[in-house]
C-alpha cells in the first residue's frame, strides 16, 4: 500500500527538474516519514544511486527516517527567542515532556524538535505545533499547547 503510494509519487514528479526534494517532501507528507524502502524507489525513478538519495535524506533536518509522534512540536532556539527567555522555555519543554530534543514521548503523543528561527522573532519566544506558530510562549502556554495537541491527536487516532 505504502510502497504503491511512493511509486506513484516518484512517477508524478520524476520528470520535473530537481525533483528530489519535492518527491521526498511528498513521501514524508503521505507517510509521516521517509521509509527505508523509498530510497531504492526514488533512486530508480531519478536514475541516481541509492547513496545519493540517502545522502540527501540525511542532509536535511526536515526529513525523518522514523515515524514521529502524533504531534510535532518545535521550539525556536534563535537568538531573538533567547533574548526573551527562549532558553528557559527550551528547558521547560524538555523537562515537562520528560524527553530531550529529537525524541518522542513514550505514549507517542509528541515529538520535540529544536528549530532555528520561525521568523516570528518580534513576538518571541516562539513554538510551532504542526503548521501553527505561537508567539510570546511561556511555560504555562507551552503546557496548554501540549494538552491541546494531545487532545486533538487523541481525537484523531
Partner 1 sequence: MTVKVFVPGDTTAVSVGADRVAAQIAARAKSAGQDVTLVRNGSRGMFWLEPLVEVETSAGRVAYGPVKPSDVASLFATNFLSGGSHALRLGPIEEIPYLKNQERLTFQRVGLIDPLSLEDYAAQGGWVGLHQAIRREPAQIVAAVKESGLRGRGGAAFPTGIKWQTVLDTPADQKYIVCNADEGDSGTFADRMLMEGDPYCLIEGMIIAGIAVGATLGYIYLRSEYPRCWTTLNEAIRRCQAAGWLGDNVAVSGRAFHLEVRLGAGSYICGEETALLESLEGKRGEVRAKPPLPAHVGLFGKPTIVNNVITLASVPLILARGGKFYADFGQGRSRGTLTLQLSGNIQRPGLIEKAFGLTLHELLYEYGGGSASGRPLRAVQAGGPLGAYVPAHDFDLALDYEAFAQRGAMIGHGGIVAFDESVDMRRMARFAMEFCAEESCGKCTPCRIGSVRGVEVIDRIAQGEDRDANIVLLESLCDTMQHGSLCAMGGMTPFPVQSALKHFPEDFER
Residues forming contacts to partner 1 in the complex (CB under 8 A) are: 17-22, 24-25, 46, 52, 55-56, 59-63, 78-84, 115-124, 126, 128, 131-136
Q: What are phi and psi of 120, to 5 degrees?
A: -110, 25
Count the Cβ atoms, other than its own, within 10 Å of residue 111: 22
Give the whole-angstrom CA distance, residue 61 versus residue 136.
25
Quote the least distance from Cβ 68 to partner 1, whole Å.
14
Nearer residue to partner 1 within complex by CB, 20 or 97 = 20
Give the burial class of 105: count Cβ atoms within 10 A of its Cβ; 0-12 exposed, 13-18 middle, 19 or more buried.
Answer: middle
Residue 87 CB, shortest distance to partner 1, in Å, is 8
Q: Which is nearer to partner 1, 1 or 122 (CB)?
A: 122
Nearer CB in complex with partner 1: 52/143: 52
Amino acid at each position: 500500500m505504502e510502497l504503491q503510494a511512493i511509486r506513484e509519487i516518484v512517477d508524478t514528479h520524476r520528470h520535473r527538474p530537481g525533483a528530489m526534494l519535492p518527491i521526498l517532501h511528498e513521501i514524508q507528507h503521505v507517510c509521516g516519514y521517509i521509509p527505508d524502502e523509498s530510497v531504492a524507489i526514488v533512486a530508480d525513478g531519478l536514475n541516481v544511486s541509492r547513496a545519493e538519495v540517502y545522502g540527501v535524506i540525511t542532509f536535511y533536518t526536515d526529513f525523518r527516517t522514523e515515524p514521529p509522534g502524533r504531534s510535532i512540536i518545535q521550539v525556536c532556539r534563535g537568538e531573538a527567542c533567547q533574548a526573551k527567555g527562549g532558553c528557559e522555555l527550551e528547558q521547560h519543554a524538555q523537562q515537562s515532556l520528560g524527553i530531550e530534543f529529537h525524541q518522542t514521548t513514550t505514549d507517542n503523543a509528541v515529538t520535540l524538535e529544536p528549530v532555528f528561527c520561525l521568523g516570528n522573532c518580534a513576538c518571541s519566544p516562539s513554538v510551532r505545533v504542526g503548521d501553527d506558530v505561537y508567539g510570546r510562549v511561556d511555560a504555562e502556554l507551552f503546557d496548554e499547547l501540549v494538552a491541546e495537541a494531545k487532545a486533538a491527536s487523541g481525537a484523531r487516532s
